[in-house]
């Protein structure tokens, strides 16, 4: 009888122990032990072979050190920007949004905002944090009362020119009008200097930058406004001039991608390129001494103000909704750190990018920024008006067709008027 009771007691004890183990196994897979840090995966296209990529890693490492044992940010890199954005869209559609991601904002594509899968930052946007941004930037990214994107980058897209090559062609200053611009191109070509870097692969970035400047110089800052037809005489004239501009570019411009086009300028093979501040990191110190930065040329009887610039669209950061309030608050804490004065200063000076959040740089800091970035900041800051680049604001169907439309025009499949008409139809 004693033996039987012992067996019963032993079985009862085992049952209790197994029940406890079973309860532990049935905890949520995302639950963490008290001594484990909250893990946040950050998707980015900024690889460490770029200055902004290295600066982002430095910023994340600083944050991880400051929050050691509490929060850990890891960066998942996909340097193919168009592919990266499609990956994010797919994840959101599958209701598995990334913890953190950046993207090109397009008011004609609000699929991310309307997905119901993004974290609303507005409850956390206190006065101190809000004061870091321009009111219009917060307003532009707020939909249905929700702020699901934090303003981060909205860089100018300006004209870089090689002053040494300009001097060789007898050009003393950057052209103020497009007539002067093409006259300068002719002088450069006569001296055996290729005037400008262009491309048609991927998003045709450098070519669509030129098209944007040409169209805005003619028709003003509302030329791509939603509901406004693109099929205008000014837009056709811009397409005609873009076609002419290709005659002053490299032999491989049709079919070239961003890397090929930008490398031509970085190697001194071309005298001009239209790009953002991220290009600066690929220019060696000797070349930077000879680089000038300018706003866009004007056209006769055009509707743009002198000194106007084209900008990239907002490239904000967004976050997926979180089941854990603790993780949500950690994401907000990191975003506040990214957009703090220290975070913005690090990304500006080390990453060579211009950000939406407020930042005042001293003369010494501007000098440290280097001769090109300091010019870039000056030209951007003094612009009387700006327009977002065409491939960032059209409807998705028109954006996807734009590179092939430019190539079709260059291969004489249709004339510039035909190219504009097709672009306008795709944008309806």
pLDDT band at 286 (very low <50, low <70, confident <90, very high): very high
C-alpha separations of 397 from 14, 346, 403, 407 in Å: 65, 37, 12, 17
Asked if 103 and 46 count as a contact pair (C-beta separation under 8 A), the reply is no
**pLDDT score, position 33:** 55
**Ordered domains of the chain (ranges, CATH):** 38-153+314-360 (3.40.190.10), 156-311+370-426 (3.40.190.10)
In angstroms, the CA 74 to CA 262 distance is 30
Q: What is the mean pLDDT of residues 400-425?
A: 98
| Token pair 């484990």: residue | 36
Evaluate if residue 369 carries a pLDDT over 90.
no
Q: What is the pLDDT of residues 175-203, one digit of tens each?
A: 999 999 999 999 999 999 999 999 999 99
- pLDDT one-digit tens code per residue, 21-55: 433 333 333 445 557 999 999 999 999 988 899 99
In angstroms, rounded to a whole number, what is the distance separating the alpha carbons of residues 218 and 400?
24
Based on its alpha-carbon atoms, the radius of gyration of the chain, rounded to whole angstroms, reads 26
Please state the rounded mean pLDDT for residues 308-318. Answer: 95
Bridge partners, 177 (sequence order): 298
pLDDT confidence of 244, banded at 50, 70, 90? very high
Residue 186 has what pLDDT?
98
Overall pTM > 0.85: no
Which percentage of the chain shows pLDDT scores above 90? 80
Query: Which is more confidently placed, 428 or 162?
Result: 162
Q: What are residue 320's DSSP bridge partners?
A: 118
pLDDT over 70 (residue 6): no
């Amino acid at each position: 009888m004693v033996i039987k009771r012992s067996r019963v007691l032993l079985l009862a004890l085992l049952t209790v122990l197994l029940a406890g183990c079973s309860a532990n196994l049935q905890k949520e897979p995302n639950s963490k032990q008290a001594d484990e840090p909250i893990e946040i995966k950050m998707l980015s296209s900024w690889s460490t072979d770029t200055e902004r990529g290295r600066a982002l890693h430095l910023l994340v490492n600083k944050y991880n050190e400051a929050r050691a044992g509490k929060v850990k940010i890891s960066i998942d890199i996909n340097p193919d920007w168009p592919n990266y954005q499609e990956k994010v869209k797919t994840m959101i559609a599958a209701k598995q949004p990334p913890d953190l991601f950046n993207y090109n904002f397009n008011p004609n594509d609000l699929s991310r905002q309307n997905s119901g899968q993004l974290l609303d930052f507005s409850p956390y946007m206190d006065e101190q944090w809000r004061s870091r941004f321009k009111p219009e930037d917060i307003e532009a990214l707020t939909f249905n009362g929700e702020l699901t994107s934090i303003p981060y980058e909205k860089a100018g897209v300006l004209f870089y020119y090689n002053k040494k090559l300009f001097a060789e062609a007898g050009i003393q200053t950057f052209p103020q009008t497009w007539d002067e611009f093409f006259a300068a191109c002719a002088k450069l070509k006569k001296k055996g200097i290729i005037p400008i870097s262009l491309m048609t692969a991927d998003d045709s970035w450098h070519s669509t930058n030129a098209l944007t400047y040409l169209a805005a110089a003619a028709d003003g800052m509302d030329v791509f406004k939603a509901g406004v037809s693109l099929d205008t005489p000014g837009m056709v004239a811009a397409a005609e001039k873009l076609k002419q501009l290709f005659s002053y570019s490299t032999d491989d411009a049709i079919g070239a991608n961003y890397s090929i086009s930008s490398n031509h300028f970085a190697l001194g093979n071309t005298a001009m390129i239209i790009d953002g501040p991220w290009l600066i990191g690929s220019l060696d110190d000797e070349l930077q001494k000879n680089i000038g930065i300018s706003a866009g040329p004007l056209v006769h009887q055009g509707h743009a103000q002198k000194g106007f610039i084209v900008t990239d669209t907002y490239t904000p950061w967004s976050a997926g909704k979180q089941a854990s309030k603790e993780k949500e608050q950690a994401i907000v804490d990191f975003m506040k750190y990214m957009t703090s004065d220290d975070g913005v200063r690090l990304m500006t000076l080390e990453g060579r990018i211009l950000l939406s959040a407020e930042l005042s740089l001293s003369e010494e800091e501007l000098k440290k920024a280097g001769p090109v970035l300091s010019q870039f900041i000056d030209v951007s800051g003094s612009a009387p008006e700006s327009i977002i680049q065409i491939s960032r604001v059209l409807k998705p169907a028109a954006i996807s067709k734009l590179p092939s439309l430019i190539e079709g025009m260059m291969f004489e499949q249709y004339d510039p008027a035909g190219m504009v008409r097709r672009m306008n139809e795709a944008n309806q």
